[in-house]
Structure 1
Amino acid sequence: MCKSRRRDDSYSSTEWSEAFTLSVSNQPRATLTAGTTIITVGGSVTLTCSVQSSHGWKYEWFRRTQTTYEGKIRDQQNRDIRVSEGGIYRCRGTRGNLVYYTYISDDVTIEKTISNKVVVKQQPNWPQIFRGETITLTCEVQEGGETTEWWYEWRGPSTPTQWTHNNDVTFRVSESSSGDYMCKSRRRDDSYSSTEWSEAFTLSGSILSKPTVTLQPSWTQIYSGETVTVRCEIQGGEGAQWTYEWRAAKLNTPPTSNEYRIIRATESDSGGYSCRGRRDYFFSEWSDIITLTVLYKPCPVLTVSPSWLSPGASVTLNCEVEHPSAGWSFYWYKAVPDLSQKSSSYELLPDGNGTANNSYIIHGQTHTAGYVCGAGRGDPEYHTDHSQPKFVWSADVHSAASLTVSPDRVQHFTSDSVSLTCEGKFAEWRVRKFSEDGRLSDCSRMTGSTCDINPSKSDIAVYWCESGSGEFSSAVNITVHDDGNGPILVSPVHPVTEGASVSLSCSLRTQQILSNVFFYHNDKLIQNDTRGELKISAVSKSDEGFYKCQYSGRESAQSWMSVKVGVLCPESSSLPVWLIVGLACGISVFIIVLISFYHYRKKKDSGFISPMTTTNHVVNQSEIHKHNCLDHGAGEIQDITYSVIQLKHVGKKRKHHKSQEHTIYSEVKVGDEEKSSPAASNEELYSEVRLESSLEDIPTYAEINCHNKAKAKENQEDSPTYAQVNRHNKRASKNNQRH
């Protein structure tokens, strides 16, 4: 409190003032605050200095850096100031005439952002990083930063780094190191001026898969001479620059690429192959081992079905490659005999060039033939060897080439001598045999067109002829038996024509004619009497099958007897021809019977035979002949008369067949109803029927015997009569016709 008094009146004073309370505090500390501590490029920040709960202050501002002393900022006494430089800032308050200072504020660091940009770069610059690899991240200052010395700071998944003069960090990638990485830089001469943080660089440490070894083509089993590529593949590491290491069966100089090409593989290339990848000092795991097997060059195995041809049957060829594997195409050939080279050449079958199917069907095969197959695969195509030839055999006799066997039977003793003769209009021949053990060979004792063998067990085989022009004969089975006491079956080697007669017999090595022989057909007893032969007068298809004989309790081996369909004119294919031939034969026989009866009666009455005529046939006088033949029994003359009948074939003719003239005779034997005198002569009548046709015909004879009801004398003979059918080519000249 206070009071006053006047100077001129010492005893006059005022009252005491009201009390004024003075509170004395400790020396205050100024407080410095900043709106932000980062100055953006081209910007500034506001700093505020304050003294709590007091007034009348003025302020002093101070700035320093790591390289400069603290200095007072001139002309700055305001509470708020704006600064555009980085550094460490402080302030304090002042007031009063006798300047009173507060304590100086705490430091506030202001950083200035400079315009240079920084980026994080990875070395090696692989798009995919695998755990376990070592990488380096580099903080690079752009836009002129190359000439300035910088400090660097990093932020990453782990604790941020301190400022360092190194612009890169190197570490081993692991699961914990995956994440975002950023960096910034500051100039070494200005610790409070720095760049902005870089854009985040994301590091993903992938798990590297185990490499795999693959083969192209993908066959683990290949053949000698094939080409294969062994490839190392790293899943997920396609973009990386790998160097490869190999463990292989045969690699004197291991490759460093991901492919290893084996050209013309050999057996030594067989074995296990594995690989791994390497990038700098980082290695992948070793792959699993893949085993490659190299086999010898394969020889396909060809089978044919059936082995023996049946009329109208198709032949199926099957080709199998040893050690079956994938990717094969098949080639089909016909074997053509090449006697000059003692081998065969191969002709590609129609549509037989590289089929995907390993079977091939041949339709309409009628004769013995040989076939071969081959296979190929890959690119370029690798070809196997050709298969061994396999044959399909025909038992039917071929008109161009045929085989005869002497003696004419299937079964032979080891003591026999057997000749196989090739027949046909060819200069060169060879006889081939296919043994029971599957071996194909040529006859070793060939003289001209005949092969001579002294049979042994090794000669049990199928035999056929091959000509120098590529023709095949029919094939025959030859079996050999060395049982000295056992019998063999004597049966024909060639098929028997339906309608023909055949005899089967049983023979011993020491005795060819036997009696009391049992005969079996397909293991069924069919004859067990005293006869030594089995005679079939008219063979039918039902007689085909296996036959064997039994003598004195010992059986022969069984043999197959084949029956083929009989054809009157084998090369005719036109039904009207058969009708005309049949009618011609029937009519001619009928006419001959009538003429014979008339002639016989006439001769009996007058002893003179007149020429025959008929209104149904064109008869040329020059075609009527009389012949006198001595009857050796009676010494009398027999009269023979010919009548020519010409018929024209109206069926379609084949242009490529050469027309030939053939004759069919029908013989009519006529006897007197009454008892003939010893001097009576027999009469032979011939009727000739000529039929024009473009087909080749074969002479056929039909014999008709008409006997005298009365008993003829012993020296009297029946009269044979023949009907002759000739078929002519229309193009044949009249001079070539028979008259």
Structure 2
Amino acid sequence: MERPYNNPENWNEVQRSLSSEYRLPSVRVYDSGEYHCAAATPDNTVYRWSSTITIQIPEMFSKPELRVSSNPITEGSALTLTCGTTPSTVSTGELQFAFYWDGQELQGFTSSNQYRVYSVQLEDSGNYSCEVQHPAKRILKTSELFYIQVVGGAVRPVVSLSPNWANILTGDWVTLTCDVGSTAGTAPRYSWYKDNKMMNKDTPTKEYIIYYALETNSGTYQCQTGTSERSEPVSLSVTDGPLILQAPPYVYEGDSLTMRCYSKSGGDTVFYKDNNPVAPTYGDQLHTEGVNMTVTGTYRCSKGKTYQSDSVFISVRELFSRPEIKVRPSPLAEGSNMTITCDTALHPSRITTPLQFAFYINGNTVREFSLSRIYRVYSAGPGDWGDYSCAVRTPTGTVLKLSNVTQIHEKGKNFLLSVGLPLLVILIIIIAVGIYKLRHKAGQTRRSSDQSNTGIPLSETQALAEDGDSQPHPASPAPPPTATDNTLVPSAGGSSSDGTEDMKPEGI
């Protein structure tokens, strides 16, 4: 029997045998298609094809989807995970569900499609997924990963401005907004402060609007929700002109930065950074995409030859710290489960910014960028040891930072590398020096013995050499003898008739 593709030349043969039956013990949706069979004699002299039949296998249940009660969710709140699927040929009661966090099983297969955490903690952040199976039919499907972020219970609010200018002219309007994270379904109340003095308390609205700005509206503004701490102060400056350089109160790595040379009158605009002219990008605006630390500097602007703005210092803040590799457990043993964390800290005012993490070993990628800052190795072995590093980036890739390299080895291996190897080198040097001294001492002993065998006292030999009447044959240095050393040395006897010395084994 064969299952053909649309092109008969590409029919996919699934069985060739003496049996007239083709059996699939557990069909899947992908087994749907057009089937036909062929019968032939052993020598293929007679070959017959059947007509084609179409088999459509309905989906037993849809791919599951993980749903969460709240995300991001406040620390201490209750979290409910639901593994949703749509049965088509079976009932929901026949299915079983399991839940996972960063690859670890949270709840094994049961008939419940929900998993509940009664009080989530910060460390519960991570990638969650679920699986659905029909145990009798051996069908299993897995959901996509879903990243859940747990934030601190008392989230510090952030004041934002709209328009996002830290300085405005009199008569302009501006809206201050008190932004907070997840409030676990509660309706927060807002309090506003100017120059550390409360302006209003427990209002239901998170906005404070200045419809017609006066110079007296200049100052630092903060907000507070419930028992949270006050927000970071935001400065607002209201001046009477005639020309100001407008910029946001805070700028972070990766932001799009726009500055405006603003006045009630026109004129050709010139921007300056650290007293060097910078061409504007949009008339009276200077725009920069994806800023980094190099944008930091002192800016001002001019219009025509008449007006000059005051200087504004722009300091680009770090969005998140350089990542650091952290390993648990420490030290490691072969066969243990290893958890590697790419640890970084977002600026408190940008705590809700999503980040992506990637992991590398010996320069090779072991996990592409994802929302999980954790990489797990189960039953670690020799193939898992090496130099680990990680990278963190924003989803747009405008900010990317790499960690330092961290060596991860089995327990005791680091000791051998850092301590044992230097000790071995020192030991080899000591042995080499000892051998050299032993050979040097043996050579001196040999030369002294050869001179004494000539019958000439050492002092007389030196005298003869000085007078030039006779030059004694110096003894050649030799390696120290061993138990198997058969080296021939000059005897104490005279020379032979041809001028060569008689030779015999030493000691004979």
Provide the TM-score with structure 2 as the length reference. 0.28
Q: Which has the larger radius of gyration?
A: 1
Provide the TM-score with structure 1 as the length reference. 0.21
Q: Which has the higher relative contact order, 1 or 2, with Cα contacts under 8 A spaced 6 or more apart?
A: 2
